[in-house]
Amino acid sequence: MRGLRWDGRELRLATDLPEPMPGPGEALVQVRLAGICRTDLEICRGYLGFRGTPGHEWVGEVVDAPTRPALAGARVEAIRVGVRPMPRDERPMVGALPSVDGFYVVVSHSGVTLGPLWGRVAAAEILDGALDPRLAPYRPARFL
DSSP assignment of the chain: --EEEE-SS-EEEES-PPPP---TT--EEEEEEEE--HHHHHHTTTGGG--B----EEEEEEEE-TT-GGGTT-------TT-----TTSS-EEEE-TTSTT-EEEE-S-HHHHHHHHHHHHHHHHHH-PPPGGGGGG-GGGG-
Q: Looking at residues 106-133, what average pLDDT do you find?
A: 79
Judge whether residue 75 has pLDDT over 80: no
**CATH classification (class only), 1-82:** alpha beta
Q: Where, residue-wise, is CATH 3.90.180.10 in the chain?
A: 1-82
The answer to whether residue 119 scores a pLDDT higher than 60 is yes
